[in-house]
Structure 1
Amino acid sequence: MLILLPPSEGKADTGSGKPLDLARLSLPALHPAREQALDALVALCAGDADTAADTLGLSPGLRGEITRNTQLRTAKALPAGSLYTGVLYDNLGLADLPAPAKTRAKRTLLIFSGLWGTLRIDDRVPPYRCAMGVRLPGVGLLSTHWRDAMAQALPEAAGTGLVLDLRSSMYTPAWTPRGDVAARTATVRVLHERNGARTVVSHFNKATKGRLVRDLLLDGANPRTPAELVTALRDLKHTVEELPPARPGRPWQLDIVVTEL
């Protein structure tokens, strides 16, 4: 099973170890695209600060991120599993997973990133600021920049198993599952049911997805198809409604229904 996660805006302030070594990051097929994105971001942030802030969509209170980005090749790095601190990751709770579940997390989780493409949780990178929707000079829109490299790397990472796609909409254009991989892919929507009515949730969408992944890791479940995933989630007491694809070769959609937020 491969679980695709978005990153988070919230990140640790500093690293705690050796600087970045791009060649040691997982999915080496992404290496050339990583080099290009990193060079372009550092050059942008070493130039005019107003241009960098506009390009990265930074508010005045975040202008310090420009200086941070100029130092990405020399700054202390930390594991990606410790870098992201947003709602999804708070509820996933990687730090306090027991050893067997943490081993499964290292094998199954893949975090999408505008700057790095994707990261395993033990890939070491420095704190940075660069979303997938950014257009870097000389590189262009990052979601487009990653497509060719992802088309090679992601099917290899998925192998013959299930893909649980929990990415937010900003990150889905960087890779679209196709063919046999798409048929083994499930996406998740979180719905809040109250007084017989259902609404799509946003903030608690992230919290629910974090708890869902944690439950799967703790349980040791290894579903190989979307149908098996539905069974596994129901066994873990999640309320799940499945929407099989209208045509073969398309992902399934799973609705996770919650009554408490």
Structure 2
Amino acid sequence: MLLLLSPAKTLDYDSPLTTRRFSQPDYLPQSQQLIERLRHFSPAALAELMSLSDKLAQLNVGRYADWYTPFTPDNARPAVLAFMGDVYEGLQASQFDDADLDYAQQHLRILSGLYGLLRPLDLIQPYRLEMGTRLDTAAGRDLYAFWGQQLAQALDQLAQAGAQGPIINLASDEYFKAVPVAALRTPVIQPVFQDRKNGVYKIISFHAKRARGMMARFAIRHRLQHAEALQGFDEAGYRFAPEASSEDRWLFRREAP
């Protein structure tokens, strides 16, 4: 199976690295195209495009100016150790050993507005470019047009090769929308995490994001090879709810903490 995650807005380039291993992103030429397009934006124009504060806009204009190849451990960081946020708190990649990283490199991918599709150890330089950004390019009016078909082809190839499908969608709607599902030949399963509050099960964003990372960690640590084994996920009180699930939408529920 192939696990999909979203990236995070918050980045960590200061903590000590827990591995010296790294790999190179597959789509750096495309990333370079986007960087060249972004370098045309002033801080004010970028703030408007991305709904950023003046401070964040200035920071990212500087990041685009400083972005350069080749990527090395001196100017970039493995993606899974660069992203912070709720999902990555659940993933806890800094605790992975070499065997965990071997499995993750084969079975985990991170969707990215700038880098397209990342392996956990792919080096990345700091950036801010959400997949939903309406950045026009020669491919179309937004990043969905820019990345869509490339992502579908890449995911199919991965799922049909070493990762051996299906695709487990643990990404957000904003990011998975970049994958044209109709073009996929591989089944997609979407785990959904719900908390019972006031007698009603519902998705609580903070908890659901963290649970997505925990499920990816569960698969990595247990070296799962078949999607059905994910139904045994029982971290943080979640349990698979077969009576509320369908073939491609698996619900995991718990009492609200």
Relative to the length of structure 1, the TM-score reads 0.81
Select 1:192's aligned residue among 192, 195, 205: 195
Aligned-partner SS, 1:187: strand
Matched with 2:52 is 58
Q: How many residues in Structure 1 have an aligned counterpart in Structure 2?
A: 240
Partners of 2:153 and 2:166 in 1: how far apart? 17
Deviation larger for 155-164 or 31-40: 31-40
Counting aligned pairs with the same residue, the percent is 23
CA offset at residue 182 of structure 1?
Answer: 4.3
Matched with 1:20 is none
Partners of 2:223 and 2:47 in 1: how far apart? 44
Deviation larger for 67-76 or 213-222: 67-76
Contact 1:44 1:52 in 2 (8 A): no
CA offset at residue 229 of structure 1?
Answer: 3.6
Aligned-partner SS, 1:209: helix
Once the two structures are superposed, residues 161-197 of structure 1 have per-residue CA deviations (whole angstroms, 9 ceiling, x without a partner) of 22110110111221133477443x2102111014532
Residue identity opposite 1:151 in structure 2: A
CA offset at residue 67 of structure 1?
Answer: 1.2
Aligned-partner SS, 1:9: coil
Residue identity opposite 2:113 in structure 1: G
Partners of 1:143 and 1:130 in 2: how far apart? 12
Partners of 1:125 and 1:211 in 2: how far apart? 23
Select 2:33's aligned residue among 25, 32, 36: 36
CA distance change for structure 1 residues 153 and 31 in 2, over 3 Å: closer, same or farther?
A: farther
Aligned-partner SS, 1:122: coil
CA offset at residue 201 of structure 1?
Answer: 0.9
Give the superposed CA RMSD: 2.8
Contact 2:2 2:167 in 1 (8 A): yes
Matched with 1:127 is 126
Residue identity opposite 1:7 in structure 2: P
CA offset at residue 232 of structure 1?
Answer: 3.7
CA offset at residue 244 of structure 1?
Answer: 2.7
Select 1:257's aligned residue among 229, 232, 253: 253
Partners of 2:208 and 2:14 in 1: how far apart? 28
**Is 1:73 the equivalent of 2:76?**
no
Contact 1:144 1:173 in 2 (8 A): no
Structure 2 unaligned regions, length at least 5: 18-22
Aligned-partner SS, 1:128: coil
CA distance change for structure 1 residues 132 and 231 in 2, over 3 Å: closer, same or farther?
A: closer
Contact 2:194 2:252 in 1 (8 A): yes
Structure 1 unaligned regions, length at least 5: 18-22, 246-251
